Every structure is written in structure tokens, then in C-alpha cells.
Amino acid sequence: MQRVLTTQTKEKIGEKVRLCGWVNNLRDHGKIIFIDLRDKEGIIQLVGDEKLKNLRISDVLEIEGVVKKRPKNLINPKILTGEIEVEVKNFKILAKSKDLPFDIQGSGREINEELRLRYRYLDLRRPRIFRNLEIRHKTIKFIRDWLDAHGFIEIETPILTKATPEGARDFLVPSRLQPGKFYALPQSPQQYKQLLMVAGFERYYQIARCFRDEDPRADRAYGEFTQLDLEMSFTTQEEILSLIEELYKSLIKKIFPQKKLTFSHFPRLEYDEVIKKYKTDKPDLRKNKNDADELAFCFIVNFPLFEWKEKENRWDSMHHPFTAPKEEFVQDLLNERNIGGIKSYQHDFVLNGFEIGGGSIRISDPEIQEKVFKILGHKSSEIKKKFGHLLEAFSYGVPPHGGIAPGIDRFLMIVLNEPNLREVIAFPMTASGQTAVMDAPSEVDSSQLKELGIEIVFNKDK
């Protein structure tokens, strides 16, 4: 007999069905036993005799039984299959389960994080997290379909690559074939997407994994995160912002219809004015901050190109070094004057007080690009070594281009009203950088180190 899912039983009243799933709950009334059976769709009530007695929560079960309508007074409106139950005729235990290390019915927020993540595959059984991941899938699928319909193609870029500056530390991977040399995991696909514009793709996107070794916060995962990386040629800042506005409005309408937008047109706000008025460049513009379903999207534009790093006594990019200055400041830049006053084509995407994305129109003139690197303190030889490939590519016909990269995790955290990014990621790391379930980082065999030509020297002071 073909297996049916819990939700499909509703159409099979009076019929014999085969169901598989986990024992979610068990109520022993002596001669009669009730079991809530759970599968990926939901829960259904099974009714059987004492033979079901020895079952335990989380055992994996296969049953055959007859679907019956429940008496009116026993209907459970809280579950999709609340009007029916299945009378078990025979059953088979497919796997036994030990007692779970924690309860999976509640929010889970009270449970120690290390424990939750060590048993993440059990924590994922929690209906809320399970649903979060389904919505994550639907969100990403919507984005892919929408961009496909708007002429974008998704292109994967390398994970083992060269450092690309986004302001964080790199994760390094030693090379076996070239001992003593290292790959860096990408902080973003920034340079690759620009090279794809030189190649002529014109409209690129990628649901991209980015790796940054920076300290975690509730809204910043340690190690890796996912962003919608996007780049366009022959574009303007306004075209990029309008496209993103359209995409997010359609997404909210389809996947999060209960949400209300504060602004039917996302405002474009000037950096200087926002800082003056709100003392932050990510203002929370909701009308009613107690309303869990209000979304206030806005864009911030007209950022300075550089910011002064007092401690390090040097200029740094406000965004990253590929961001273009506004035309009226190009002469200042080339002559290295008024550096702090140069305005750029950076744009930030802000939602409810969180930065959910950033991007810019890019520099496509090698002379301007070299000057930016120079102001950032790179020596000519270093510029060649680190970024020579990009400057060379720009000498073969580079179209004007620009893009943006909204984060997927942070956006979902906000729209799902979750307090932490870990609630929307399947296998997140702990705050101390330990992977969920699998014990990484961990030591490796000395033979592996030997092959890589690496010797570990422990610093006694640490």
C-alpha cells in the first residue's frame, strides 16, 4: 500500500491507509491508547489497543489503519487533521528512540544553546524552527523565480579563492599542492561578480555563502552567512534600488501577507541627514514599534567614500574599495584632497533598524581604482599583487556596473520575529564558533599537517 502523509488522510475517510512517522505524544488510557503521529506535514491522532503500550516518544512507526471521523466533541481545531483519527489495525516499529535530551514542543529558548546545537537535528523537530526553514526555502525560491523572470541568471563563484576585502578577517585554507600557500574563503563574491560584468552577463545573482571571521552578535552569525548577491551592467543607483524595492514588495506580499509596510514607496534617505536626525545610519522608522507585523524598509544613500580610523591612523572604505565616488568628487579624489568629504554611490538597505544589505555603483576606471587603493594605504607593488587581476580585466572593456547584496539570514530573523539568527539557520555555530552537531574546529592528524607542510606551535602566553 502506498504511504500517505498525515494531511492527505483528510480525503480518505473510511479508507485503509498506511502512515509513517514519529511518535510525537502518547496517552495511555489503559485499554485504549492515543498516539500523535508526526511527519513532515503535521500530526494525526492514532487510536489503538494495549499492543501500542510499549511505544515511546520519538520511536519511528509504520501503521496501517482506517481513517475515521471524530465525534463532534472530540474535534481538535488546533491541528489540520483535528476532525479525524486513524484506527490502527497493525503496526511496525521502524526504529526505537532513546529519551530526548530536551523537550521539543516548546520554544526551546530556555534551553542551553550548546545543548540545543549539539542535538540540532532534534531541535529542528521543534515546529517553529521546522517552519522557519520551510519559509526560508519559500523565500529563496521566490527570489530565484522573480530574478529569473527579470532576466538575471544565477552563477556560482569559487569558495576556495583569494582574499577580497569586506572589512573582516579571512578564513584561510592551506594548499597541499603548493605548500606554504593559502586560499581564502570569500568574504563575498564581490570581485567575481564584477568580473562577470566584464564577461558580459549584465544581470547576475547568486544565493551566496560568505565567510567572515568576525565576532558574533545576535544579528551577525559567526563564520558564515548567506546573501542574495546581485550585480547589473549599464545601470544606475536608482535602477538597483527600484529593482530591490519591487522584489521585496512582491516577496512580502506573497510569502508574508500578514505584514504591513510602513512605506508603500521605500524612502531614499541622505546619510548626513539620517545621522543628524537619528544618530545612526540604520534608523528604525516603524510607526508603531510594538507591532510585530510592521516592516519599515528604507535605503540610505550619499555616504562618504572613506572613513577615518582613529586608532589605526588611516583612511578606510566606508563600504569596500570598489565603490565609486560621485562624479563631482572625482577631481578631489585624483588630487587626494577633501578625502573625508568625498561622497560615494554606496547604498544601504535598512529594515526596522537593521542593516539588511549594502551595495554600490562600482569604480570601472582603473585610474580611480588605483587611487582609492593608494588612499587606503596600499603600496603600488601590493596593489598589483592583490588586485592586479581586476585592474587588468578592466582594461578589456568594462561596462559601468553596480549591485547590492541583501542578507538572507538577517531578513528572515526580522520578518519571523526571531531574536537570533540561529533560529533561521539549519546548522548554525555557537557564539564561540563551534559548529552544530559536528565537533569543529577540531584537531587534525599529524599526517595531514605533514602533508600540508604545517607545524603547530602553541603560544605559551595564550
Q: Which is nearer to ligand ASP, 58 or 190 (CB)?
A: 190
Rounded least distance, CB 189 to ligand ASP, Å: 7
Is residue 346 within 8 Å of 393, Cβ to Cβ? no
DSSP tag of 322: T
Give the DSSP H or E segment for 94: strand 84-95
Give the DSSP H or E segment for 446: helix 446-452
Rounded least distance, CB 188 to ligand ASP, Å: 3
Is residue 421 within 8 Å of 413, Cβ to Cβ? yes
Q: Which is nearer to ligand ASP, 70 or 220 (CB)?
A: 220
**What secondary structure does DSSP assign to 273-288, as a single string?**
HHHHHHSSSS----S-
Rounded least distance, CB 402 to ligand ASP, Å: 8
Residues 6 or more apart whose CB falls under 8 angstroms from that of 206 comprise 154, 155, 156, 157, 189, 193, 228, 229, 230
Q: Which is nearer to ligand ASP, 22 or 297 (CB)?
A: 297
Is residue 329 within 8 Å of 261, Cβ to Cβ? no
Is residue 153 within 8 Å of 202, Cβ to Cβ? no
Task: Using DSSP, state whether 461 is helix, strand or coil.
Answer: coil
- Backbone φ, ψ for residue 123 (5° rounding): -60, -35
Task: Using DSSP, state whether 151 is helix, strand or coil.
Answer: coil
Rounded least distance, CB 166 to ligand ASP, Å: 5
Q: Which is nearer to ligand ASP, 166 or 170 (CB)?
A: 166
Is residue 41 within 8 Å of 6, Cβ to Cβ? yes
Residue numbers at the binding site for ligand ASP (CB under 6 A): 166, 188, 190, 358-360, 403-405
Rounded least distance, CB 320 to ligand ASP, Å: 6
Return the sign of the alpha-carbon dihedral for residues 59, 64, 67, 71: negative
Residues 6 or more apart whose CB falls under 8 angstroms from that of 304 comprise 271, 318, 340, 341, 342, 343, 344
Rounded least distance, CB 405 to ligand ASP, Å: 4
Residues 6 or more apart whose CB falls under 8 angstroms from that of 432 comprise none
Rounded least distance, CB 299 to ligand ASP, Å: 14
CA distances for 385 relative to 323, 364, 390, angstroms: 20, 19, 11
Q: Which is nearer to ligand ASP, 63 or 363 (CB)?
A: 363
Alpha-carbon Rg for the chain, nearest whole angstrom, is 27
Q: Which is nearer to ligand ASP, 129 or 230 (CB)?
A: 230
The three grid cell numbers given for residue 319, joined into one nine-digit string: 563600504
Q: Which is nearer to ligand ASP, 85 or 229 (CB)?
A: 229
Cα–Cα distance, 372 to 391 (Å, whole number): 12
Q: Which is nearer to ligand ASP, 9 or 190 (CB)?
A: 190
CB-count exposure of residue 171 (10 Å: 0-12, 13-18, 19+): middle
* Angle of the 380-393 helix axis to the 366-375 helix axis, nearest 10: 150
